[in-house]
Chain A
Amino acid sequence: MSDSIKEITMPKWGLSMKEGKLLEWSVNEGDEISKGDEIADVETEKIASAVEAPASGKLRKIVTENDTVYPVGALLGVIADDSVSDDEVNAYVEKFLAEFVPPEDDDEEEVSASEFIDINGLNIRYVSKGEGDDTILLIHGFGGDLDNWLFNHDDLVARTGKKVIALDLPGHGQSSKSVGDGSQDFLADTVIAFMKAVGVDKAHLVGHSMGGAVALNIASKQADMVNSLSLICSAGLGKEINLEYLDGFIGSDSRKQIKPFLQQLFADVDLVTRQLINNMLQYKRLDGVTAALQQIKDGFIEGASQKKQFNDVLGSVSKASVIWGAKDQIIPASHKDNISGGNVEVLSVADAGHMVQMEAAKEVNEAIANTVA
């Protein structure tokens, strides 16, 4: 009886999420829904996204009010087929609500999960989840941080059973804002030193955008340290890049200025919430960030093109995948076609942009899991 009742609860996206605001449902009570369907819109401090149906069946009850905040784990609705009576559904809901205890204030959890390590005089922040000898290293892109992997980090641990580490590159997130000479080699060397310092001799590298070029650079310098490469909307596979975006992002100092540039990152511009913009401005306003970003940009770009291409490196890695959002406005999706030879899987995701790992997390996580298997 109660086996056939499935709970829909407020998901936890990323370490720091404690609650989400349920905006509205896109289905109604009584509708048949399939597992994986997007059924409700939720906005958090970091991003807006959709709750997916955890199972197939009939949506029997919605217990939320629109535009209301609920803690992670709170009951949002209930799925059951017609064999379950309304009374049973209501009793289930009542029991849940009566017994529900929202998770404790987990500032501690988030703070203690963030670790810091000194790499060549730089303070580097990282988060490590999962156990095992085999490690996946997630490398974010220009202007990003380890929270870019919000929808990927936990899922990858679950899917692969491996240890998954995400770091903040120098100049980004909560790592030191000094970026040496700003060169691509500086970034790659720092990540190599990081890997050695945390006891990872060899890893599956996953790089997004500029992080992809960093991963490729590492593979070209220290092939023995790279198990596989998963490159997402990656730099380093072609010359073209949206220079206007880079300059605009670096030069923006207000909400009004930065919003249109952030919107270019996504296929769905509604994902660029007020909070996302605020978080980005908060990062950009830290002392030294603008200078660091400029230096890194100069290390990557000559005139209007990317300085370095690493297409040949792909061929020398034992396993690799190249994943692109078809609507990428920053680095053209056509760069995925610049691959020749080697054991490279190519995946194009139709309705996603540059931040495909957020917009189509499931597909991306699946592709990565296949690459590292």
Chain B
Amino acid sequence: MARKITYQQAVNEALDQEMARDPSVIVMGEDVVGGQGSPGEMDAWGGVLGVTKGLYAKHGDRIMDTPITESGYIGAAVGAATCGMRPVAELMFIDFMGVCLDQIFNQAGKFKYMFGGKAETPVVIRAMYGAGFRAAAQHSQCLYSVFTHFPGIKVVLPSTPYDVKGLLIQSIRDNDPVMFLEHKMLYTLEGEVPEEPYTIPFGEANLVREGGDVTIVGFGRMVHLAAEVADKLAKEGISCDVIDPRTTSPLDEETILESIENTGRLVVVDESNPRCSMASDIAELAATKAFSSLKAAIQTVTAPHVPTPFAASLEDAYIPSVDHIEAAVRKALK
């Protein structure tokens, strides 16, 4: 059994250990040190939520603040990666993808293919996502389905402190461009995390609960809500497989399909807006590859097709809840 640290500390530890191990790892982003050029404290912030605090003291110039210039520095990270560096660039909020998307999906994601196999672009772009902070429409989106769509990009969304450290180390060591997405509401979540460095392979789902009645696939923070529902229903004698894919690209299709073949009933829980979401992607997977196993219509639980609202009452109604999930599971069982 290992000591307990928070999700955010686990991110910090992964960065720290990889920077110590490999001099080609560099970190950049807005305020990731916090105080560059300013008269007061250096490392004033260590990232807007303090995730990268302390790295400057240990690694100096290898972690750098950038101007507010996403296209500029995300592109620089991509370019440096083609020269053999391993940059970890922070896109502060996934919602800012609009101002740098070209460098990610048209450049980084396509070099290897367009250039006939010669290029390698080992860049990691970390970003916060998710609602619950009352941060409103432009700071609360999920958007991982958008990146999942792009060939050439890998997409990682860890849901626990153990997963986030292992997957971030894996992402840094991986030789393809990786979008590494951290749900902002999970930063304070505590969990057991080994002190030593370790990796978790991509495309390997985590089976969070095991059961034969219903398959629940959840993403990011939704995994925890799904587990809560599964535990509640277990008392009624309903047992659920709760699957956390951990990476949407590559996706562990096998685990999901095997589970559906066993249960015949699928509920997908995705905090995103519904159109062209991971919910629709998994539903498509089940409908095309496990159709004959399905005993009931596929249920999806998502946010509605609206921007994220500000008011607490509205945001709470927007985010899928345990009640929504439970209702969907019961519906799947009819």
Touch test A–B (CB under 8 Å) = yes
A312 to B203, CA, bound (A): 50
Complex interface residues of chain A between 92 and 116 (CB less than 8 A to chain B): 107, 110-111
**Contacting pair B162 A68 (CB below 8 A):** no
Interface size on A, residues (CB 8 A): 20
| Closest Cβ–Cβ distance, residue A172 to chain B (whole Å) | 12
Which residue on chain A has the smallest CB distance to residue B162? A282
| Closest Cβ–Cβ distance, residue A276 to chain B (whole Å) | 12
A66 to B198, CA, bound (A): 36
**Contacting pair A287 B196 (CB below 8 A):** yes
Which residue on chain B has the smallest CB distance to residue A69? B231
Which residue on chain B has the smallest CB distance to residue A289? B198
B200 in the interface (beta carbon within 8 A): yes
| Closest Cβ–Cβ distance, residue B197 to chain A (whole Å) | 5
**Contacting pair A274 B162 (CB below 8 A):** no
Which residues of A sit under 8 angstroms from B287, Cβ to Cβ? Answer: none
Which residues of B sit under 8 angstroms from A107, Cβ to Cβ? Answer: 4
B109 in the interface (beta carbon within 8 A): no
Which residues of A sit under 8 angstroms from B200, Cβ to Cβ? Answer: 285
**Contacting pair A286 B235 (CB below 8 A):** no
Which residue on chain B has the smallest CB distance to residue A114? B1
**Contacting pair B207 A255 (CB below 8 A):** yes
| Closest Cβ–Cβ distance, residue B198 to chain A (whole Å) | 4
Which residues of A sit under 8 angstroms from B3, Cβ to Cβ? Answer: 111
**Contacting pair A282 B235 (CB below 8 A):** no
Which residues of A sit under 8 angstroms from B253, Cβ to Cβ? Answer: none
Which residues of B sit under 8 angstroms from A256, Cβ to Cβ? Answer: 254-255
Interface size on B, residues (CB 8 A): 22
Complex interface bits, B269-289 against A, C-beta within 8 A gives 1, otherwise 0: 000000000000000000000
A68 to B232, CA, bound (A): 10
Which residues of A sit under 8 angstroms from B201, Cβ to Cβ? Answer: 253-254
User: A68-B235, A107-B4, A111-B3 known; A285 and B204 CB under 8 Å?
Assistant: no
Which residues of A sit under 8 angstroms from B234, Cβ to Cβ? Answer: 67
Which residues of A sit under 8 angstroms from B107, Cβ to Cβ? Answer: none
| Residue in contact with B1 in the complex, picked from A16, A67, A288, CB distance below 8 Å | A16
**Contacting pair A287 B198 (CB below 8 A):** yes
A111 to B210, CA, bound (A): 29
**Contacting pair A285 B4 (CB below 8 A):** no
A253 to B166, CA, bound (A): 13
**Contacting pair A274 B235 (CB below 8 A):** no
B35 in the interface (beta carbon within 8 A): no
Which residues of A sit under 8 angstroms from B175, Cβ to Cβ? Answer: none
A286 to B195, CA, bound (A): 9
**Contacting pair B162 A110 (CB below 8 A):** no
**Contacting pair A285 B199 (CB below 8 A):** yes
A351 in the interface (beta carbon within 8 A): no
Complex interface residues of chain B between 165 and 197 (CB less than 8 A to chain A): 166, 194, 196-197
User: A254-B204, A285-B166 known; A65 and B235 CB under 8 Å?
Assistant: yes
Q: List 14 A-B contacts (CB under 8 A).
A: A65-B235, A67-B235, A68-B235, A110-B1, A111-B3, A282-B162, A282-B194, A285-B166, A285-B198, A285-B200, A286-B194, A287-B196, A287-B197, A288-B196
Interface contacts beyond A174-B2, A287-B197, A288-B196: sample of 12 additional A-B pairs, CB < 8 Å, sorted by A: A67-B239, A68-B235, A107-B4, A177-B196, A254-B204, A255-B204, A255-B207, A274-B210, A285-B199, A285-B200, A286-B194, A286-B196
